[in-house]
Amino acid sequence: MSLGMFLILFTACSNSEAENNEKTGEQGGELAYNPPSMEELDADDPMTSYIQKGEKIFNETNTVLSERVGNELSCASCHADGGVAPSSSMVGVTTQFPQYRPREGVAFTIEDRINGCMIRSMNGQKMDYDSEEMRALTAYLTYISEGVETGEEIPWRMQNTMEEIPEPNVTRGEELYEQKSCLSCHATDGSGTGATTGPALWGDNSFNDGAGMSRLSKMSGYLKNNMPLNKDDTLTDQEAADIAAFLLSKERPEWKGHDSDWPNGGRPSDVINKERREKIREGTFNWADIENVIPAK
């Protein structure tokens, strides 16, 4: 190969790699966070109307799908800003499916995962897999995942789990709920002020106890990473665990499928169901029953 031909091929490969990095936002080997804007949608593209409808469903699930949502939550109740806020982001989610789900014991498609949220977090009913609403929601999630390769490691995913939880103090959690002004958005009785302004944290209009957020590690991690909203004074691990335990001690809709979850074993020890809620309120629950709780000194 001549030197001239080598330089041409080298330049072409370099340009191709640069264009690919620019598209994905990948720099230095780690995927950069660069979701596409809804303003970039082409009005003449027939997919645009589906993507826009999917965004509306994501942000206003409880009203757009009121006949299927059993509480007053939306997808954006947990995944802020239409799922593109860096914390609890949905960017790239469609590239991770199909995936095996140990909780259900089967391989899940993205549609399965959406319906999992519908019957657990939304305490409602599944959407029809070929419905316009399901097509729209998957179109939206696919759009905000542009630039992420299938199966690619996504550094911002699965960050809301507290691996080591300080032994909670429920009484202190109740005090912190007021001191940290949680009630200003979520109300004194936990009923909330709106699906995206302050979701219901307990009661009939909140998630059921089969949702991921009913696990102490998930709730503690979420609070630690996301609350208080838009404030600089972040919670300590202990504060997040205390508030999480207080919230999960409150009554909420019951999931009827606990016995069939994790059919192949591996059930996590931190699921807070009705029996545990009652014991927590009575002060008789043994926090050592949760494997990753660090005993108080």
Give the model confidence (pLDDT) of 154-181 as tens digits. 998 888 999 999 999 999 999 999 999 9
Q: Would you call the peptide bond into 263 cis, given omega within 30 degrees of 0 as the criterion?
A: no
* Percent of the chain surpassing pLDDT 70: 89
Instruction: Give the pLDDT band (50/70/90) at residue 213.
Output: very high
- pLDDT tens digits for 113-148? 999 999 999 999 999 999 999 999 999 999 999 999
Mean pLDDT of the chain: 91
Alpha-carbon distances, residue 87 vs 3, 38, 90, 106 (angstroms): 49, 19, 9, 27
d(CA 110, CA 114): 6
pLDDT (tens digit per residue) in 88-98 = 999 999 999 99
Give per-residue pLDDT as tens, 55-66: 999 999 999 999
- What's the angle, vertex CA 17, arms to CA 11 and CA 20, rounded to 5? 140
Residue 17 backbone dihedrals phi, psi, to 5 degrees: -65, -40
Residues 6+ apart with CB under 8 A from 14: none
pLDDT > 60? residue 16:
no
Q: State both tokens at 24.
A: 């994905």
Which one is predicted more confidently, 166 or 6? 166
Res 292 pLDDT > 70: yes
Quick check: pTM over 0.75?
yes
